[in-house]
Structure 1
Amino acid sequence: MKTRTLKLLSLSAIFAFALQSCSIEIREDSDSPTSQSGTTIVGNELSGSGTLSGTITKDLLIKEGNYNLVGLVKIADGVKLTIEPGATFTASTTTTSGLIFLKGSKAALDGTASKPIVFTTADKIPGGWCGITVYGDAPILANGGGTTATSEDGLNQIYGGSDIGSNSGIFRYIRVEYGGKKIGDGSSEFNGLTFYAVGAGTILENIVSYKGTDDGVEFFGGTVSAKNFISYGNFDDSFDWQDGWYGQDNSNWFAYQTGTGNFGMEIESSNNASANAPKVVGITLIRAAGTNPEVAGSTEISAIQFKKHGSGKFSNVYIEGYKNTGGKSAYPIVIQDSPTDVSQVLGGKVTVSPIRTVNSDNDLAWYYVGFTSTAPKTISQTATVTKVSIPGGNWSTVNGLDLTTL
């Protein structure tokens, strides 16, 4: 037990102390809701300002206001983090910072269209922090068919389990800006948002991932679904998944690639032919003129790529601006290997229809890399397919630009 220093204070002194800045450390016993690093939490809440850091070991309410986020803030197993609409967090870029929901924790990040919950940086440079990462215990299919795996972000967290409907909480009306930090030698990376084995009981709605240096969002297995998801200006892929992710209730995904960007969607199932196919209704992928891949001369400039038994059933797909670049050819749909074609495409686990391509090259046939399909597919254009329609507002507006209007 630590010494409870507050016992020696008068009631008036305690009241005065409670009004002080949230950056002052309180030293009390282990039952107090302080983080391990000493973030002050008065009465189980942060009220309007302060710094969030360390591991949060007791339920915490963060009120509307402006906060700093310093280091890897981890929400412990069994702990619920509630953030009110209108809270804004500025992440430190001088240290490795991020918001990490460990397996068994719960989020109540429930903003509104007019008062979103925003995570950003002061210098507004892509890749400044690690974004939001959530670990869960929903099913996965890792390489070799494993039902659990170790996270690839350098934190060595075990993810995966058997609870299809597991609930990691609510993430609604949230904007994550300038994430995707590369750490160490660059082999360990974070995305704007990363969901490891997150279950179908979790709510992901009206989310923006803005100008990160890795993927806009990546799913590592799990069963969670996302609605009204915007990926803007992310350097790697706008949407990415592996480990047999199979969310079934996804809708209205919008990606706008500008400046630097690889695939609009990169899809794989970690070499598991038995992986189930996720479903998305309403996908818009737009590549602005002059957008280049991360690596000069790369072929990663197409709209949708399937590899390693990747699968997906997509309807109402609108693709615009995927043009040949740097001497390489761009395509609406790419199949990277014959096993994916045989087990997933010909097996009925890959559909992209109806589809419309606008101002894009090579837009009449699927492209097969290094092999000939026994039943090559062609693209039948559907003129009535249009961009997804997502109601905008403060939640989707960055630097005066409402991303839903692009």
Structure 2
Amino acid sequence: MKTKFLALALVTGLFLNSCSSSDDPTPTPVVTPATGEITGPITKDITYAYGNYTLKGIVKINEGVTVTFEAGSIITIDKATGDNALVVLKGGKLITKGTADKPVVFTEKSKLPGSWGGIIMYGDAPVNVAGAKSSSTSEDGNNISYGGTNPTHNGGSLVYTRVEYAGSKLADGQKENNGFTFYSVGSGTTLDHLVSYKGADDGYEFFGGTVSMTNAISYGNYDDAFDWQDGWQGTANTNWYAYQTGKGNYGMEIEASANDNAYGPKVSNITLRREAGNVPEAGDNQVDAFQFKREGNGEYSNIIIDGYGNYTTTGTPAVTYFGSAVSILDVATNDHQVKTSKIKLLNVKISNTTNILPIGATADIVVAFPTGTFVQSNTATGASLTAGAWCTVDGVNLLTKL
């Protein structure tokens, strides 16, 4: 009998040890999101913990100041408060530590395109503005000088970050602002896994500089999906995806401010799609996938172009504008960039587009790309992006049409 009790005791002890609390899974701590209002100017380094914030006014990050947002933070703007934007001044830094499942999101309360000024960043990388000048004044309403001699300027790191419903004018700005606007930003800056969603102007615009951008989505923006001027020289760009729905102009508007040059940007793995029924913003001829003007050039490879068909106005008499894969807007760009092989479009797959071959915007621009500079292919794959919360808005996966 004693032996049986001893055996029972041993078994019971083993069972209790095997179920001890030390083997229980550690519960995931519940993190309460921080809250607060962000106003400017921001004059000292600050890190915004994971949380839900409001941004009010034109918030400027001063020179020498670093502002950091932790993963999962949501920053909400309310257009009813007036002009709003987040501006990184030259020498300041913005760091967003988003992840695929916890992006940093800047949005606007009304969810209407054109409700705030988006993210605007200034640097001191080289520019080449009209008249071959090395500096200019911003057109965003801030009226800030941009341009410099520091190609490796570092304005921070924007990673897994989404900007929604931007595109408003600020103060007496000449134009609407974009989702992301980069004035003379340098190659030391990281731009990766970004989304510009339903803004009233361009998804992204570069004014000179040397920065590159990887894994970028421009979705439902009213003007161009991607746009640049002033001698932008980014050469390590890849995985760009545009989906133009409802209203939208060019897939890419490419210019160099009328400066003939030999340093054009490079972008690989591009998908440009225009939804059936999409109309140009002003009901005009901006219906092309790639548009080159004012000496714009560069090398583009592994490209999908889809949906750039004709657009017919509703006026009387009706006018039809013919969509094209590539349009050359002026004689100088054709003579100095196309004919000298400074524009290259390689491994291009085109569908549902009226003009497959490059065309001139007017009859006097006869476009004939030199051999090997415009190459069609059925093997192009375009952008390659991975779905996640970073590119999901109101439950909709933005990559569905990719």
Q: TM-score, normalised by structure 1?
A: 0.86
The reply on whether 1:130 has 2:117 as its aligned counterpart is yes
Aligned length: 359
Q: Secondary structure at the match of 1:139?
A: coil
The reply on whether 1:106 has 2:93 as its aligned counterpart is yes
Q: Deviations over 1:42-79 (max 9, x none)?
A: xxxxx710100120000011000100011101000000
Deviation of 1:143 after TM superposition, in Å, equals: 0.7
Q: Distance in 2 between matches of 1:138 and 1:90?
A: 31
1:314 alignment partner AA: Y
The reply on whether 1:210 has 2:197 as its aligned counterpart is yes
Unaligned runs of 5+ in 1: 1-46
Deviation of 1:404 after TM superposition, in Å, equals: 2.0
Q: Deviations over 1:344-382 (max 9, x none)?
A: 112222111110101111113433534233745696531
Q: Distance in 2 between matches of 1:82 and 1:174?
A: 12
Contact 1:141 1:275 in 2 (8 A): no
Q: Deviations over 1:232-252 (max 9, x none)?
A: 000000000000001010000
Task: Tell me what 1:28 maps to.
Answer: none
The reply on whether 1:349 has 2:336 as its aligned counterpart is no
Deviation of 1:343 after TM superposition, in Å, equals: 1.4
Residue 385 of structure 2, aligned match among 377, 383, 390: 390
Distance 1:243 1:208, change over 3 A: same
2:128 alignment partner AA: L
The reply on whether 1:153 has 2:153 as its aligned counterpart is no
Contact 1:389 1:404 in 2 (8 A): no
Task: Tell me what 1:37 maps to.
Answer: none
Distance 1:275 1:81, change over 3 A: farther
Task: Tell me what 2:216 maps to.
Answer: 229
Residue 226 of structure 2, aligned match among 239, 245, 256: 239
The reply on whether 1:77 has 2:63 as its aligned counterpart is yes
Q: Distance in 2 between matches of 1:371 and 1:168?
A: 43
Q: How does 1:87-106 map to 2 (within 5 A)?
A: 87-94=73-80, 95-106=82-93
Contact 2:208 2:233 in 1 (8 A): yes
Deviation of 1:110 after TM superposition, in Å, equals: 1.9
Q: Distance in 1 between matches of 2:272 and 2:370?
A: 20
1:105 alignment partner AA: G
Deviation of 1:176 after TM superposition, in Å, equals: 0.3
Q: Distance in 2 between matches of 1:204 and 1:332?
A: 27
Task: Tell me what 2:324 maps to.
Answer: 331
Deviation of 1:107 after TM superposition, in Å, equals: 1.5
Q: Distance in 2 between matches of 1:319 and 1:78?
A: 42
Q: Distance in 2 between matches of 1:184 and 1:108?
A: 26
Contact 1:354 1:381 in 2 (8 A): yes
Residue 200 of structure 1, aligned match among 183, 187, 195: 187
Structure whose alpha-carbon radius of gyration is higher:
2
Q: Deviations over 1:143-199 (max 9, x none)?
A: 111111110111111111011111111000000000011345773321000000000
Q: Distance in 1 between matches of 2:357 and 2:181?
A: 33
The reply on whether 1:402 has 2:397 as its aligned counterpart is yes
Task: Tell me what 2:282 maps to.
Answer: 295
Contact 1:48 1:66 in 2 (8 A): yes
Contact 2:36 2:53 in 1 (8 A): yes
2:224 alignment partner AA: D
Distance 1:49 1:340, change over 3 A: same
Q: Secondary structure at the match of 1:339?
A: helix
Q: Distance in 1 between matches of 2:197 and 2:343?
A: 28
Contact 2:334 2:365 in 1 (8 A): no
1:400 alignment partner AA: G
Task: Tell me what 1:118 maps to.
Answer: 105
2:79 alignment partner AA: T
The reply on whether 1:49 has 2:42 as its aligned counterpart is no
Contact 2:308 2:323 in 1 (8 A): yes
Distance 1:364 1:275, change over 3 A: closer
The reply on whether 1:180 has 2:167 as its aligned counterpart is yes
Task: Tell me what 2:255 maps to.
Answer: 268
Deviation of 1:278 after TM superposition, in Å, equals: 0.1
Q: Distance in 2 between matches of 1:191 and 1:365?
A: 28
Q: Distance in 2 between matches of 1:376 and 1:394?
A: 41
Distance 1:330 1:374, change over 3 A: closer
Q: Deviations over 1:85-111 (max 9, x none)?
A: 011000120111010000110121121
Q: Secondary structure at the match of 1:341?
A: helix
Task: Tell me what 1:189 maps to.
Answer: 176
Q: Distance in 1 between matches of 2:173 and 2:138?
A: 15
Q: Distance in 2 between matches of 1:228 and 1:145?
A: 31
Contact 2:339 2:369 in 1 (8 A): no
Q: Secondary structure at the match of 2:213?
A: strand
Distance 1:149 1:211, change over 3 A: same
2:392 alignment partner AA: T
Deviation of 1:288 after TM superposition, in Å, equals: 0.1
Contact 1:283 1:388 in 2 (8 A): yes
Q: Secondary structure at the match of 1:255?
A: strand
